[in-house]
Amino acid sequence: MGQTLTGLLTSVRAIAGRPGTPAQGRPGGGPDQALLAALRLCGDHLSALAAAGPLTDARRTRLIASIGALTTACSTPGADAFDALLRTGQQALDSGGEAEARLALALADEATALRARSKGAWRLRGNALDALGRGEEAITAYERHLALQQNTTASRDVERRIATLRAAGDRIDEALTLFRAGADTGANTGVGTKASGTAARLSRHLPAAEARAAFTDLVRLRTAEHGAGNPAVRRLAALYAEHRRLSDRDPVADPLLGGAEPIGVPGLRRLVAGRTVCLVADTPRTAEQEKRPGSPLAALIEGYDLVVRCDEARHTAPAARTDLHACTLRGDTPWKGPRWDRRAGTRLVFGDPLPHWRLALRGRLVPGAQDRVGDATLRRPLHDPALLGEEAGAGPASTAYTVLRLLDFLGTPARVDLIGFEGPAALSPREREWVGTRTANTDDTAVRITLR
Dump pLDDT digits (tens) for 132-180: 999 999 999 999 999 998 877 767 778 888 988 999 999 999 999 888 8
Contact 329, 351 (CB under 8 A): yes
Residue 370 phi/psi, 5-degree rounding, is: -150, 155
For 357, other C-beta atoms within 10 Å of its C-beta total 19
| Low-confidence winner among 420-424, 434-438, 448-452 (lowest mean pLDDT) | 448-452
On the question of pLDDT at 252 being above 60, the answer is no
On the question of pLDDT at 365 being above 60, the answer is yes
- What spatial distance separates the first Cα and last Cα of the chain, rounded to whole Å? 34
Diameter of the chain by CA atoms?
84
On the question of pLDDT at 9 being above 80, the answer is no
Torsion (CA) 5, 7, 13, 15 in degrees, nearest 10 = -120
**CB-based burial of residue 435 (10 Å sphere; 0-12 exposed, 13-18 middle, 19+ buried)?**
middle
CA 322 to chain centroid: 13
Order across the sheet with 344-350: list the strands.
261-263, 370-374, 344-350, 324-328, 306-310, 276-280, 415-419, 446-449, 439-442
On the question of pLDDT at 446 being above 70, the answer is no
Contact 107, 46 (CB under 8 A): no
What is this structure's pTM?
0.55
Calpha distance 44→214 (Å, rounded): 33
pLDDT-derived band of residue 24, with 50, 70 and 90 as boundaries? very low
Calpha distance 138→163 (Å, rounded): 12
Q: What pLDDT score does 5 carry?
A: 67
**CB-based burial of residue 447 (10 Å sphere; 0-12 exposed, 13-18 middle, 19+ buried)?**
buried
Calpha distance 134→109 (Å, rounded): 15
